[in-house]
A and B are shown apart, each in its own frame.
Chain A
Amino acid sequence: MNIIATVKQVPDPEAPAGAFRIGPDDRVMVSPTVSSVLSPYDESAVEAALQLRDAHGGKVSLVCLGTEPDDSFLHEAMATGADEAYLVVDDMFQNGDAFATAYALSKAIAKIGEYDLIVCGRQASDTDAGVVGSVIAESLGLPSATVIRKIEVVGDKLNAERVIEDGIEVLELPLPALLTMTSELYTLRYASVMDIMSASEKPVTIWSASDIGADAVELDDLANRSILRKQFIPVSQTQCEVIGGDSAQEAAANLAQALRSRKVI
């Protein structure tokens, strides 16, 4: 079973609010002290892919649309067990939105060619958009399902547990298919020092826009459907009234009284 996992590098989502600034071109600037990490839902997608490969054979390939031809991040990401990686980098894709990103990734995936399943994160934890996966499926004409917490392969089909309001839905999809993954049941395994060392030997293929047959006109159409007008840092107007007292008990009683006087309880 050949599985492709899309992986995005994001600024550590748990960075403090002060780490974010808006740059001159209205793009978000992240403080250099914030490290880049694999987007958390992509970690779950990779773990799901590894478990399926371990159970059914085949290989796991990682695909990333990057901003620089630096493949060290992909070598690190392969330490947990992926077999190979592809990095797409081209000026043509810089500053693209989710549709442009999905276009580039779907072209790369089509070029990789042999796959039974594509797994993506349910949303990248920087933009929280949740668009790229489904659009890759739409471009490639594949069936898809989103926010999946568990995958099982049964013969030439797969069963996927999709998280819905107040429960889950068990879906059956034909292969090949695309799923976007959530994190409840898949926690990415640790890599040992040996794994990390051997991962540096694993192959990373770097592709440009022309390598994957990307078309500038098509890309332009996609990337211009939405406009990012501007970005801003929200300011919180809340003023917290800290309720005191001579003891914790008294503060607690005063809090209840304060809620009563505000007619909240």
Chain B
Amino acid sequence: MSDNSGIMILAEAPNGKITGLTTELLGAGRRIADIAGEKVSALAVGAGLSGVEAELIAFGANTVYTVDDPSLGRYTGDAYLSVLEKVCQQLTPRILLIGHNSTGRDLAPRLAFRLRTGLAPDCVDLQIDNSTGALVAIKPAYGGNVMAMLASKSQPEVVTVRPKTQEPLERDAGRSGDVVKLDLGLGTLASRAKVLDRIMHTYTGIKLEDAEVVVSGGRGIGGPEGFKLLEELARSLNGAVGASRAAVDAGWVPSDMQVGITGKIVSPRLYIAVGISGSVQHMAGCSRAKTIVAINKDSEAPIFERAHLGVVGDYKNVLPQFHETCRELLVG
């Protein structure tokens, strides 16, 4: 065994604001660090990071390391890879947690391979083995029909963590921690893959990932018109509209509305699945919702095994009255 120690998380703060996923990683890091009796550090890589350090401490970091460089403002493969490789060699963390988002997917496999260590990708749960103190990471396979428990023999143990699976800590500005600026002496950082352009979606209304209520429609909606009913309901409930891949593939709604293993991961207070059968690939994106409601005309649909509440019926007959009663309850 090497003498690596501590848990490090890779923080992301585009535009100087830490992401929700970063707070989730800190929450997970804190939880396992407390069991294992270790410390949590956050590594922030970017350009213009002042102010970010205090936020990371408020969300649970004992130490914040920053690599602040104008060329690191946005993720690019080779540059971030060099930074992370150097940091891991210098600071020798035992566990490195990275979010399983576009950055983590791109970075983690090459990094782990380069560090001569293992990788547990897209994990939904992290445990510490009571007898050995080793990290065990749980990863869904076969779309979520199977769970695999992965461990590592080499360090750092690199884990990418699926968004919305870990509880962040309450923000507490009273927490204290150290800030260390790293000078890695890497010289000019360039990546062979150059970013020519970034085209961002524009949103009207609430973002799907942030919504407290999500109303999603599937193939059972039958066409784009049906989604109007869902939009009206979502508006009344102050929520956002999502969709299954079947609805996206049919061209009824744009692909950024897709919920699931290859779409958005959401964890709202309330998830209403309308005309969605409940495939594992879809449920992987919403199974962390506090309350799942199914409206489906087939009482045998698998969604009824995953939902908390359900109505069996044609959504065209169910939704208008449901909307009406919700509205009455909300004003009343």
Contact = CB atoms under 8 A, between A and B. Distances in A.
Interface of A: 11, 13-14, 16-17, 19-20, 22, 28, 98-99, 102, 122, 125-131, 133-135, 137-139, 143-147, 159-160, 162-174, 177, 182-184, 221, 224-234, 236, 238-243, 247-253, 255-260, 262, 264-265
Interface string B64-102: 000000000000011000000000000000000000011
A118 to B, nearest CB: 14
B308 A238 contact: yes
B201 A166 contact: yes
11 contacts: A99-B119, A138-B109, A165-B102, A170-B199, A226-B118, A241-B310, A242-B299, A242-B312, A243-B310, A251-B318, A252-B318
B193 A265 contact: no
Contact of A127 (B141, B149, B197, B310): B141
A139 B113 contact: yes
A-B residue pairs, 8 tightest by C-beta:
A226-B118, A225-B118, A143-B192, A248-B317, A256-B325, A167-B200, A252-B321, A252-B322
Given A143-B78, A227-B150, A171 B194 contact: yes
Nearest to B200: A167
A130 B195 CA distance: 22
Contacts of B314: 248
B152 A240 contact: no
A128 B307 CA distance: 24
Contact of A231 (B106, B149, B152, B256): B149
Most A CB contacts (10 A, CB to CB) among B109, B117, B136 go to B109
A226 B195 contact: no
B121 interface: yes
Given A135-B109, A240-B305, A227 B152 contact: yes
B36 interface: no
Contacts of B310: 240-243
Contacts of A131: 109, 119, 121
Contact of A259 (B143, B150, B293): B293
A230 B149 contact: yes
Determine the main DSSP class of A at the interface with B. Answer: mixed
A126 B142 CA distance: 4
Contact of A228 (B148, B302, B317): B148
B206 interface: no
User: Main SS of the interface on chain B?
Assistant: mixed
Most buried by B among A28, A165, A183, A251: A165
B119 A234 contact: no
Contact of A253 (B148, B193, B322): B322
Given A226-B118, A226-B151, A170 B142 contact: no
Nearest to B191: A143
Contacts of A28: 141-142, 146
Given A143-B192, A231-B146, A256-B329, A226 B153 contact: yes
Given A230-B149, A240-B309, 18 more contacts: A17-B145, A28-B146, A130-B122, A131-B109, A143-B191, A147-B105, A166-B200, A171-B195, A228-B149, A228-B150, A241-B309, A248-B314, A249-B318, A252-B317, A252-B325, A255-B322, A256-B325, A264-B270
B142 A11 contact: yes
A227 B291 CA distance: 35
A242 B318 CA distance: 13
B147 A231 contact: yes
A163 B118 contact: no
Interface string B297-323: 001001011111111111001111110
A263 B193 CA distance: 50
A248 B262 contact: no
B150 A137 contact: no
B144 A172 contact: no
B294 interface: yes
